[in-house]
Structure 1
Amino acid sequence: MAIDNIKAYAHLSDEDIAEIGRRLDAIREEVEQDLGPRDVAYIKNLIRTQRSLEAAGRIALIFSGNRAAWWAGTSMLTLAKILENLEIGHNVLHGQWDWMNDPEIHSTTWEWDIVCPSSQWMHSHNYVHHTYTNVLGMDNDVGYGILRVTRDRKWGPLHAFQPVVNTVLASMFQWAVGYYDVELGRFFSGRSSWEDTREKFWETTRKAGRQTARDYVLYPALAGKNYPKAVAANAVANFARSVWAYAVIFCGHFPDEVETFTKEQFRNEDHNQWYLRQMLGSANFHGGWLLTIMSGNLNYQIEHHLFPDLPSNRLAAVGKKVQAVCQEFDLPYNVDSFPVQLFKVQKTLLKLTLPNKFLLASPDNAPEVRSNRAFEPVEDQLWEGEQQGRRSGLKTGLGLIKKLRPTVKDAIRIYSGRIPSKAAAARAA
């Protein structure tokens, strides 16, 4: 049910894929050659703003017995944590600012305001996820080991409680990320020993202790008799930061039409096909300036996956060029509004609480999963590469097979025991 031959799936020739790779390499080189003072000013001003917000928020919470001060302090602290986590920490740790050779703003020295140690994040995220993006059995981010986001994951009774698990994950996202690279699941299942697990476990636990002491003991203690309200404010800020990070990250990875891939595809791909996998395995969402900053520029998730170490403030301009490449080669550019992408994610998570036998759409042609076999009914309307100045490839094909999926009316007919129409039966086949 995942893609095992991205070249055939995309209906591109070898020359097409090579040209796409050449165009994307050129985009990277152009940005790298243009980096300079305005980029330095951007990240330094951002860090200054974030630290000012945090300081002002914590000072306001000293007077948290006053309702206005509590709300002001909590709001500023929440904004500071979100900015540090997404637009600063995540991007600095990707090495986006290493070219500055600033010892403070560097991936090797930055330790961010979150439970997860930077070194573990850089392994589980920068290396594993960005190398094996959406490759089943290799990218642990496909469901994070606990959620069923594709039919390729075998259904189990615990998946019936997926809405509950999903809610807990969103509310405690920083803690899930914190112990993510520790891989406690492997330890408890007997696939790794305590010797293999111990070092990372205690590294995360020590940092979690420092984070907890700072947010719930030391800073609130400055509030004196207002200590309980200051603790509550820190809890709200951490909770809001977790839920927001969850929403942003899920919108970039699990909406409809984001593709998954087999190990066979990964083994056989070159640098140019790697680019193609990143383009098809990610999604964007629309956003103005504020939403872009607050999401860490991850509303340009496609561009981030293509160029994870390019400074985030350049992704908007890069996105226009990537979208033009997609349009020229009849490739989809998965973008929608933030609410729509988030709704699609939640719909998939809810739907996959059910075993596959209760799902109406074909396992090769569903909103959340496709395979090369999906195009068999429409293959005569598609072709590889350009013919007589026209293309009829992946984007065209996805539009055609989408019409073959069962509709809500078809589902009502089938589950109510009524005989579906011929058109509905053809779509459900």
Structure 2
Amino acid sequence: MTTATASATVAHLTPADYEAIARELDALREEITADLGERDAAYIHRVIRWQRGLEIGGRALLMASSLPPAWLAGTATLAVAKILENMEIGHNVMHGQWDWMRDPKIHSTTWEWDNVSPAGQWKHSHNVVHHTNTNIVGRDNDVGYGILRVSAEQGWHPANLPQPLVNLLLAMFFEYGVAVHDLEIDKVLAGRNDPEETRAKLRAIGRKIRRQWAKDYLVFPLLSGPQFGSTLAANFTANVVRNVWAHMIIFCGHFPGDVEFFTAERLDAETRGEWYVRQLLGSANISGGPLLHLMSGNLSHQIEHHLFPDLPSNRYAEIAPRVRALCERYGLPYHTGPLARQVGSTWKKIVRYAFPGPRRSAPEPSAPVREPAAA
């Protein structure tokens, strides 16, 4: 990373600091990896049992969905089950966090989640593109998901004006936005895509949508007999609730006002330590209790997830204090705050960048510059 591409937030760090940060975080990874075992396996099996029990219970309640109490209870229970499946189970299993167990039923190569996005396409757009290029404008397609302006490094266009409304619609139907994410619509519109590859991806998306719609909007409503209409509405509502929750958690981990974005020059000869620091600067946590962490898929520890995306999510809470202490020693920001504050900060940014504003080509400081810390 050259001086020109370094944020003022990290201008005080020396090459020796970056090397020390890399050694410490690599050692932390190795320590946790060596300690994985029975309690971790028991955790993911327990969460899967809870999730499946909730889904069965929710769908059973919806057999009487014509009764308002049963509709509300069934919809809420099914929504919680879908959130758990997508966030704490599906997202993390497909990251390979549980591949070390060598269980073919809980493995990144076999898991297909309850979502209209095909697992294979999600793993490419998320695990490969996003986690490699975190917050690199023009490289990380998760920066605004290709339709929102969320940083000063992005140019403004009149199409950005309605983005608060666009973001609201994206939240409600987030799984469909995720489904088309790997298509890289900007390349398709510019004619820089491979047409056959795009058609193949669209066919896969179509198959997954048909499968999900058949389950939620045909089979289970039919099984409820005369409650068909109310069960269909309940399933739709549960999906929207899941989508809004997932959108909120993910956006709060990536776009609150204090995170930084970078230009592609940042990647020039980027060292391991510089990669780690980019994850620290470009991520934000959500403070809260165990229930929030569970329901967020532990993406409330987004900083730790970006540092160690393939470590089991149940370990992020114990890693977090050590990561925060490292940040304090090296004068680095550790972005965190309660859910309400992170939501407000994210929406404030989305509204602000809907309008024209100065565009910059390199990050500005998001924290005071401090003297170098001892390794």
Once residues 25 and 183 of structure 1 are traced to their aligned partners in structure 2, the CA distance between those partners, rounded to angstroms, is: 33
* Deviations, residues 336-357 of structure 1 (Å, cap 9, x unaligned): 1111011001001111111116
Q: Is the 8 A contact 1:63 1:223 kept in 2?
A: yes
- Looking at structure 1, the residues matched to 35 and 4 of structure 2 have their Cα atoms a distance apart, in angstroms, of 36
Instruction: State the match for 2:38 in structure 1.
Output: 37
Q: Which has the higher contact order (CA 8 A, sep 6+)?
A: 2
Q: Describe the superposition over 1:279-335 as per-residue Cα deviations: whole angstroms up to 9, x where unpaired.
A: 111000101011110000001000000000000000000001000101111111001
Alignment of 1:196-211 (within 5 A): 196-211=197-212
* Aligned counterparts of 1:322 and 1:195: Cα–Cα separation in 2: 44
Conservation of the 8 A alpha-carbon contact between 1:297 and 1:315? yes
Q: Any conservation in 1 of the 2:10–2:332 contact (CA below 8 Å)?
A: no
Structure 1 CA distance, aligned partners of 2:38 and 2:193? 48
Does residue 119 in structure 1 map to residue 120 in structure 2?
yes
1:222-261 aligned at under 5 Å gives the runs 222-261=223-262
Q: 1:370 aligns with which of 363, 366, 370?
A: 363
Is the CA contact (8 Å cut-off) linking 1:61 and 1:230 kept in structure 2? yes
Kindly indicate whether residue 174 of structure 2 is the aligned counterpart of residue 181 of structure 1: no
Contact 2:116 2:175 in 1 (8 A): yes
TM-superposed deviation, 1:175: 0.5
Three-state SS of the structure 2 residue aligned to 1:342 is helix
| Corresponding position of 2:162 | 161
- TM-score under structure 1 length normalisation: 0.83
Aligned to 2:74: 73
Write the deviation string for residues 104-146 of structure 1: whole angstroms up to 9, x where unpaired. Answer: 0000000000011111111000010000000111101111100
Q: Report the TM-score, using the length of structure 2 for normalisation.
A: 0.95
Structure 2 CA distance for aligned equivalents of residues 222 and 37 of structure 1:
39
1:279-358 equivalent positions in 2, closer than 5 A = 279-356=280-357
1:236 and 1:206 map into 2 onto residues whose CA distance is 22
Q: Which runs of 4+ in 1 moved over 4 A?
A: none
How big is each residue's C-alpha offset from its partner over 1:16-66, in whole Å with a ceiling of 9 and x where there is no partner?
A: 111111110111111111111110100001001100100111111111111
Mapped to 2, the partners of 1:136 and 1:205 lie a distance apart of 29
Consecutive unaligned residues of structure 2, counting only runs of 5 or more, are: none
Q: CA–CA distance in 2 between the matches of 1:28 and 1:296?
A: 19
**Superposed displacement of residue 10, structure 1:** 4.0
RMSD between aligned residues: 2.1
Name the structure 2 match of 1:170. Answer: 171
**Could you tell me the percent identity over the aligned residues?**
49
Structure 2 match to 1:90: 91
Deviation sequence 1:134-190 (CA, Å, 0-9, x none): 011110111110000012221111111111111111111001001111223422332
User: Is the partner of 2:41 in helix, strand or coil?
Assistant: helix
